[in-house]
Chains A and B, each alone.
Chain A
Amino acid sequence: MATATDVPSANLQALIRAAAGGDHAAFAQIYQRTHVHLFGVAVRMLGQGQAAEDVLQEAYVSIWKNAGSYRSEVGGQPIQPMTWLIAIVRNKALDALRARARRPESAWNDTTELAGSDGDGRDAMGAASALAPAPSAMHLLEQATQALRIEGCMNALDGSYRQSLALAYYQGLSHSEVAAQMGAPLGSVKAWIRRGLERLKSCLAAQGVGA
């Protein structure tokens, strides 16, 4: 499967530097090499449709404007260009999700991805989740941890911990949205996600990937 980390880093770094200097052709190449990956991330969080396209557009405009702020390392920690790009598109997608959550109830019905929801906001979230079902987020986490060879380490955690982390990461759900989707108390979900993140950190460190 083509994934978000397949793009060679060295060339991307050079292209980002060139774009920072105003080289629009270099920027076009960054788009060419990364847009299918970044759009994948946006679609995973927002679903197919205008919202994901808008996020992709905002992300690349931001990449063009902020190419000069890309640093190949922070405090001795190397920053892969793809990591930087993914963080930008995730932040834009999270902004869009928060803006969507703030919209009045009636507006939910206007969103094609959420068509069919006619109850309150929570039902609408349920409808969104139904289109991007939980097992899928969990499946993506399993695939990623397998690829990183930390599957065994992560699986020492209870499934609900991993599932809450997967929902928050791949679908951009908030604590309360994860709690609603899993039918679990908010306090538990917060603790599960926190533990999940700590576990991810220690598993990656044990495997020698990431700090």
Chain B
Amino acid sequence: MRYTHPALLDHLASAYVLGTLGGGARRRFERLLRDRSDVQLLVAQWEGRLGMLARSVPVQQPPQRVWAAIEARTRPRDVKDAALQGGWAGVLWRRHGVLQGLAGVVLGVVATVALVAAVPTLFVSSDQVALRAGDKLPQAYVGLLTDGAGNGKVLVSSLRHGRTLTVKVIGPITLPAMPATMAGAAPQLVLWAVPADGAPFVLGTVPVAGSAVSVLPDTSEKLLLKVSKLMVTLEASVAPQVPGGTVLFTGNCAKLW
């Protein structure tokens, strides 16, 4: 088949995206798609058009095990451990291997000097010694949110002077049905900070499984100093102004120092 006629290519692209192009024709078209940017454009256009038809497909909640399986296949090996063991010295050593010879020796010396220079700052206080020895946790705000029956559901943590917040789901979360007033919206689990003397404000969203990191507008120290409670509500958007939905989980916000 000749693939030069624009109308033919457009037709093949539409059938490919729809799924009705089958067998050998599909395989030939896929080869064409890999090599030709004009074909990639046609397919992208048809994916755009037909993708719009998906807007009427009702959402469905898959079981928790699907995310567990995806996570098992995608989560990288613990890169933090590797970084702690190797760190920038490891990077230098790897470069040492690449550069070889005299330049490598120089880099090695630099690495050694830098390490020695770094040591005093690593061990300035007994607190930090304890921290590094694993006897003490870093200063952080933490929260454990439970459901009405007291089952632990969500673990929230943020370093005292950090600007990120980690949310980890520790128990299975079953999304309740959306109230009729919010019908039509994708359900969102929203994490709120509830200050002792002010209005609740949004800290981020909570995944139904796994963990998520939110970037905070300021340090935890500034945001959470006067926050005693945390809660998770079911909302129609990721950043509602005020909590409007059902309260699913609650817990105390505690200072870990």
Task: Tell me the A residues contacting B by CB distance below 8 Å.
Answer: 1-7, 22, 24-25, 27-29, 31-33, 35-37, 39-44, 48, 52-53, 56-57, 60-61, 64-65, 74-75, 77, 79-80, 82-84, 86-87, 90, 94, 97-98, 140-141, 143-145, 147-148, 165, 168-170, 172, 174-175, 193-194, 197-198, 200-201, 204, 209-211
Contacts and interface: CB of A to CB of B under 8 A. Distances in A.
List the 3 closest A-B pairs by CB distance, nearest first.
Answer: A143-B56, A75-B41, A83-B51
A125 B52 CA distance: 27
B18 A168 contact: yes
Nearest to A98: B22
Interface string B41-63: 10011011111111111111111
B48 A77 contact: yes
B37 A2 contact: no
B59 A201 contact: no
Contact of A60 (B18, B63, B74, B76): B74
A125 B41 CA distance: 34
Contact of B45 (A77, A147, A175): A77
A97 to B, nearest CB: 8
Contact of B57 (A87, A140, A194): A140
A201 to B, nearest CB: 6
Interface size class of B (residues with CB under 8 A): 35 or more
A124 to B, nearest CB: 18
Contacts, number: 196
Question: Which of B54, B67, B185 gathers most chain A CB within 10 Å?
Answer: B54
A3 B55 contact: yes
B213 interface: yes
A80 B74 CA distance: 24
B31 interface: no
Contact of B59 (A40, A53, A61, A197): A40
A78 B47 CA distance: 11
Interface stretch (B119-127, B202-210, B248-256): B202-210
A105 to B, nearest CB: 19
Contacts of A43: 60
Interface in B2-60: 11, 14-15, 17-20, 22, 37-38, 40-41, 44-45, 47-60
Contacts of B38: 75
A94 B19 contact: yes
A35 B56 contact: no
Nearest to A93: B19
Interface of B: 11, 14-15, 17-20, 22, 37-38, 40-41, 44-45, 47-63, 65-67, 69-71, 73-76, 166, 178, 183-187, 205, 207-213
A197 B166 CA distance: 46
B45 to A, nearest CB: 5
Contact of B213 (A25, A64, A75): A25
B74 A61 contact: yes
A36 B184 contact: no
16 contacts: A1-B183, A3-B55, A6-B186, A29-B207, A32-B208, A36-B187, A57-B66, A75-B44, A79-B44, A79-B47, A90-B54, A141-B53, A148-B55, A165-B18, A200-B53, A201-B49
Given A86-B54, A169-B19, 13 more contacts: A2-B185, A5-B55, A28-B71, A37-B54, A42-B60, A83-B51, A144-B55, A147-B56, A148-B52, A165-B18, A193-B20, A197-B15, A200-B50
Contacts of A79: 44, 47-48
A5 B53 CA distance: 10
A76 to B, nearest CB: 8
Contacts of A35: 62, 66-67, 208
Contacts of A174: 19-20, 22
Given A29-B207, A168-B18, A44 B48 contact: no
